[in-house]
Amino acid sequence: MSLLRNFATVGGATMMSRVLGFVRDVMIAAFAGAGPVADAFFVAFRLPNLFRRLFAEGAFNSAFVPLFARALEEEGEAGARRFAAEILAALFWTLMALSALAFVGMSGLVLVLAPGFVEDPGKFDLAVLLSRITFPYLLCMSLVAFLSGILNTYQRFAAAAFAPVVLNLVMISVLTGIWISGLETGVTLGVVLACGVLVAGLAQLALLLGAVRRLGFSVPLGRPRLTPAVRRLWRLGVPGVIAGGITQINIVVGTIIASAQAGAVSYLYYADRIYQLPLGVVGIAIGVVLLPDLSRALRSGAETASRDANDRLNRALEFALALTLPAAVALVVVPAPIVSVLFERGAFGAEAAAATTGALMAFAIGLPAFVLNKVFSPAFFAREDTVTPMWFAGVGMVVNVVGALALAPFLAHVGIALATSIAGWVNTGLLMIVLWRRGHFRFDSRARKRLPLLALASVLMGAGLFGGAAVLGPWLSGDGTLLRFVALALLVACGLVLFAIFVQVTGAVDLAGYLRRLRKRGGRAPVPPAPDDAAK
């Protein structure tokens, strides 16, 4: 139950962040559209985010958490504090040097990330300017990832989970100021947005520093030294850069190819934002919670450690697919109303909405694979094996590049999104097969029974959504913004109700039994229904 409770804590905070992120992106779409300023800002925003997810979240979550958990288990808090101080010094000064180099060579970085911008010198120069403003966000968020690893190991998930909420609140405030001032699309608007990103990074760092201070865990910043702990983190972290950031690497490949097509970068960005909602809520929650949980289980030394780890994997798998399968089906069945209602207004017209819809469907095909990657990767990382996922990530990268180059001439930006999804399935399949062969993962009886039923319930829900979209069509495509949002909310509510009915009818989850237990406990149940609850 504690595992699911932690999933719910992180997932709930991520849901809040993603909803606010939608508000942010709806406002960006209205003010900047899918033109050159939007393209330049999205590249500038993606650049520090790429490095953050590769060098901070990817490498740190895969390498730092297991090593920090080991130091805490074997040497106590004093040893853990000493280990954290050595890592902080190496991380901070490396990032300072990287930021200085990036500031000087930003033109080259933008050229690599968006080579198609060279054909439009104004857009290229704007992307360079905005990237220089946003790049210090990398330093802030890398330190946030470091502090999050400490908090998560101590089972304190809330502060780190709510940090992205701060980003979106700051950006919504900036966009509200743009709206009040009547600032039109141009260089100034892009600069204001970029400055908002930097301020948001500082605010998130302040939140995590406060949380660690309340925990009573202080980490002094000293001079960097190549200690055994730093070398060990380096050996685990380099493969983790690739293994933990495969999705981001694939997206960058797509950005490079898409930069040659007018508006394609923006179409992929807006589609990415929509499918990232379920991916973020489920995938991030699982990735954040499961890694320290598996690390503790395997460090216990008990004879049942391997069996406990397999049980956690099965429960995480059920939890992931119970939320991801219906979301993927919905994004494939009714993508057009979702994109239209969320973004089609102001500078974002019907043509941009149609182009984004195609990319969203292609991304949705890979959504379950992206989430399952978050389930299976921690099983390697908890055993301090980042090399195997690195090789599989490399295979996925090759599949993505070849697929994008092959499909883009025929399907344009939709082919780029489809190649990302195919690469995701290849990578996830390889992870699962090797875990199976090593004896680290087996489907237990509960998972074998419930997973097919969850798939059936998702398909039935999709059929209901298709009919509901037809009935609500006049309201979804109407003129009133509020009416359209209400119609979309009704459609989403219908999908949730239908899925709940179908999982009950098929027996995938005993919702009625859960509600009976909830009443008996006086409403004190800590988590929402999940597949493993139904088996108790």
385, 419, 442 — which closes off a domain? 442
d(CA 61, CA 460): 37
* 484 shares a domain with 338: no
**Would you say residue 522 has pLDDT above 50?**
no
* 366 shares a domain with 506: no
d(CA 523, CA 38): 47
* 138 shares a domain with 92: yes
Which tens digits make up the pLDDT trace of 41-68?
888 887 777 666 655 555 566 677 777 8
Which tens digits make up the pLDDT trace of 127-152?
889 889 988 888 888 888 888 888 87
d(CA 146, CA 83): 12
pLDDT confidence bin for 530, thresholds 50/70/90: very low
Which carries the bigger pLDDT value, residue 358 or residue 516?
358
pLDDT confidence of residue 528: 37
pLDDT confidence of residue 524: 43
Q: What is the mean pLDDT of the chain?
A: 80
pLDDT confidence of residue 332: 92
**Would you say residue 382 has pLDDT above 80?**
no
Which tens digits make up the pLDDT trace of 463-497?
999 999 888 888 887 777 788 888 988 998 999 89
* 484 shares a domain with 419: no
Region 341-346 average pLDDT? 79
* 118 shares a domain with 175: yes
* 343 shares a domain with 210: yes
* 477 shares a domain with 334: no
The top-scoring range by mean pLDDT among 3-7, 95-99, 433-437 is 433-437
* 417 shares a domain with 289: yes
pLDDT confidence of residue 58: 55
pLDDT confidence of residue 76: 79
* 272 shares a domain with 252: yes
Which tens digits make up the pLDDT trace of 152-192?
778 777 777 788 888 889 989 988 888 888 777 677 888 88
pLDDT confidence of residue 360: 92
Compute the C-alpha angle 64/104/192, nearest 5°.
85
Note whether 54 and 245 are within 8 A (CB): yes
**Would you say residue 124 has pLDDT above 50?**
yes
Which tens digits make up the pLDDT trace of 438-462?
888 888 888 888 899 999 999 999 9
Amino acid sitting at position 392: F
pLDDT confidence of residue 328: 92
* Count of domains forming the chain: 2
Percent of the chain with pLDDT over 70: 82
Least confident of 214-228, 359-373, 376-390, 504-518: 504-518
Which tens digits make up the pLDDT trace of 323-332?
889 999 999 9
pLDDT confidence of residue 515: 59
pLDDT confidence of residue 296: 65
d(CA 61, CA 112): 27
Q: State the residue range of the domain holding 479.
A: 449-536
The top-scoring range by mean pLDDT among 55-64, 276-285, 344-353 is 344-353
d(CA 373, CA 428): 5
Per the structure block, which two tokens stand in for 46? 């993606």
The top-scoring range by mean pLDDT among 217-226, 306-315, 421-430 is 421-430
**Would you say residue 523 has pLDDT above 50?**
no
Region 239-268 average pLDDT? 69
pLDDT confidence bin for 122, thresholds 50/70/90: confident
**Would you say residue 97 has pLDDT above 50?**
yes
What's CA 449's distance to the chain center, in Å?
29
Which carries the bigger pLDDT value, residue 112 or residue 211?
211
Note whether 315 and 3 are within 8 A (CB): yes
**Would you say residue 511 has pLDDT above 50?**
yes
* 236 shares a domain with 186: yes
**Would you say residue 101 has pLDDT above 60?**
yes
Q: Crossing angle, helix 246-258 and helix 264-278, to 10 degrees? A: 160
Per the structure block, which two tokens stand in for 149? 């690893």
398, 421, 442 — which closes off a domain? 442
CA neighbor of 505 nearest in space, from 459, 468, 457: 457
Percent of the chain with pLDDT over 90: 13
Q: Is the torsion defined by CA of 451, 454, 458, 459 positive or negative?
A: positive
Residues 6 or more apart from 231 whose CB is under 8 A from it? none
375, 408, 442 — which closes off a domain? 442
* 234 shares a domain with 348: yes
* 282 shares a domain with 324: yes
